[in-house]
């Protein structure tokens, strides 16, 4: 539970931070605010009453404290949770530097990513297998938007009917990562899959429920399909293949996104095209796919 801050200057900084992350469009806003609130509360408890008096050693001591702090289940914070704290504080200091509340930032020690799980990708043949095992227009549309359009899970969940411009051959992602907007080109196959779902399934569902719904993906009750449910649809398709190797890969919707990125690069798509297609703001993120693709080619040959 978030503890109330005693220092008025800290409360003002936290308020500025809330506005900052809301403007940026970050999805985990509550967690980021709570993380920074905990940091400021820790400063108060350690008799540090001004943000300008915080030293690099204080930040290091704080992360040492987090690493040993017990959770509600009497365990310790996971590496993922520590990374979230790390990112939240990085944003906090970025905002303070821009607003002039501090004159310099701090060195935040990077976490070791050596043991980080690498998302699995599917081969072209495995993607074909998924398509062949879809049993409804909805299922096929889920695969087409996840793979053929490379959307993130939350982007699929947020997709509205007005975002589909089949006449222009594009799909508009209005709320991508960081609140960024992008236009995704649609292939003829994807357009066909989207139209079939709209005409053969979605329209009948809307008429039966007698209500307008802006969401593109709908559940049986005519409401927006949650990201977790979209992922469940993909899992159902995967288990239907009865392919043990494919099932053991633990594929998620985001893995479809990784797969299309790899396949586009292998097909000779330009680096900048793939970067825009995926909605990556930083070149280094797309570069990961290039490195993996080259590594895979080396292993194959």
Kindly list the catalytic residues.
Answer: 152, 177, 254, 257, 280, 289
- 149 and 171 Cβ atoms separated by less than 8 Å: yes
Question: Where does the chain show beta strands of DSSP type E?
Answer: 164-165, 170-173, 182-185
Find the distance separating the first CA and the last CA of the chain, reported in whole Å.
55
Do 120 and 234 meet the contact criterion of CB atoms below 8 Å apart? Answer: no
Nearest CA among 5, 78, 83, 77 for reference residue 37: 5
Rounded to whole angstroms, the Cα distance separating 22 from 29 reads 7
Q: Which two tokens stand for residue 157?
A: 């969940």
- Give dist(CA 297, CA 268) in Å, integer: 14
- No. of helices (H) and no. of strands (E), the chain: 14, 3
Residue 218, both tokens? 């709908």
For residue 31, give the DSSP letter. Answer: H
């Amino acid at each position: 539970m978030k503890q109330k801050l005693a220092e008025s200057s800290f409360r003002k900084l936290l308020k500025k931070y809330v506005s900052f992350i809301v403007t940026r469009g970050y999805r985990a806003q509550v967690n980021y605010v709570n993380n920074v609130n905990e940091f400021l509360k820790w400063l108060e408890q350690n008799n540090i009453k001004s943000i300008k008096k915080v030293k690099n050693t204080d930040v290091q001591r704080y992360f040492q404290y987090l690493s040993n702090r017990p959770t509600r289940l009497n365990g310790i914070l996971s590496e993922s949770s520590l990374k979230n704290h790390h990112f939240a504080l990085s944003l906090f200091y970025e905002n303070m530097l821009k607003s002039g509340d501090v004159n310099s930032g701090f060195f935040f020690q990077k976490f070791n990513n050596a043991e980080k799980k690498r998302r699995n990708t599917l081969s072209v043949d495995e993607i074909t297998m998924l398509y062949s095992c879809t049993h409804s227009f909805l299922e096929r549309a889920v695969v087409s938007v996840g793979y053929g359009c490379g959307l993130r899970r939350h982007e699929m969940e947020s997709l509205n009917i007005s975002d589909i411009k089949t006449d222009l051959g594009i799909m508009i992602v209005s709320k991508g990562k960081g609140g960024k907007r992008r236009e995704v080109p649609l292939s003829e196959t994807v357009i066909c899959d989207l139209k079939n779902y709209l005409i053969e399934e979605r329209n009948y569902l809307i008429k039966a429920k007698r209500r307008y719904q802006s969401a593109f993906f709908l559940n049986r009750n005519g409401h927006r399909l949650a990201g977790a449910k979209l992922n469940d649809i993909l899992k159902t398709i995967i288990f239907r293949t009865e392919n043990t190797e494919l099932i053991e890969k633990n594929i998620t919707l985001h893995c479809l996104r990784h797969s299309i990125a790899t396949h586009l690069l292998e097909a000779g798509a330009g680096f900048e095209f793939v970067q825009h297609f995926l909605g990556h703001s930083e070149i280094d993120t797309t570069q990961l796919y290039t490195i993996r693709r080259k590594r895979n080619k080396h292993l194959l040959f």
